[in-house]
Amino acid sequence: MGAVRRRLGLVVAIGLTLFTACGVDTPASSPSSPAPPGTTTVLTTLPQPSPTTSTAPSSAPPPSSTQQPKTGKVVVLDPGHNGGNSGKPGEINRQVPAGRGKTKPCNTTGTSTNSGYSEHAFTWDVSQRISQALTAKGIRVVLTRQSDTGVGPCVNERAAIGNDAQADAVVSIHADGSNSAGAHGFHVAYSAPPLNAQQGEPSVKLATALRDGLRAGGFPTSTYLGTNGLAPRADLGGLNLSTRPAALVECGNMRNAAEAAAMASEEGRQQYAAVIAKAIEDYLAG
């Protein structure tokens, strides 16, 4: 992992003049069949993802052969967007509740790197890896979608999955796409001002744990959104509608050459997943 950090640091230093962007406001797309609460996807055959298709992680560790003790903790992972969203504009563009008396499109297609590696493929792969890591520690994992070929669910449905599961933590995984010059780095969003008690201190603590974990893992904080890697937001439907501790991680800027290279690589995705999983564990332990 130290080699990955050095490699990422070198690539970021080299690529600072190549930054472009891609922006994401909402966690995903329109209704398909959301994952039944209490389930997790465990992969045993893990093919290599390609820049144009989403597959399961190819080097994620296999599930442990030893039964892990259950912790009683529940984590909902929300991989942003979905692979079928672009083919169903009518479904993903319909307005749904977004909290604070607002409505927003059900979902969006997400962004991609300049070479065509999609955000939905990245978020699906990283979420699978996080799921395996947490499940191996006895944590129950619920995914808001069960494949990268469907449509949706809508942002309000994704929030409902976390609420119905009584999740101890809800973490949405995204990648940004900003075209601002020099834009790079991750940021973690949470709902603010809070609309309920769980959006207050618990969500701030979760967001801070994720920020600290990513920063400790060698990832730079955003140069263009938020402050010190944290971004309070009032416009994200999935966060506004949550009644559980919730945060959304924008892992970096897919239009930045250095970060795009990391996200498109298996090694980079494994690094993202490892530090996010560890941050979630630290939050649950705290």
State the CB neighbour count (10 A cutoff) for residue 27: 29
Nearest to 229 by CA among 259, 189, 187: 187
Amino acid at 55: T
Inter-CA distances, 88 with 92, 129, 142, 223, Å: 6, 28, 25, 34
Q: Given 250, 259, 267, 281, which residue is catalytic?
A: 250
Give the Cα-Cα-Cα angle 56, 59, 60 (nearest 5 degrees).
70
Would residue 266 show up in a list of annotated catalytic residues for this protein? no
Catalytic residues: 250
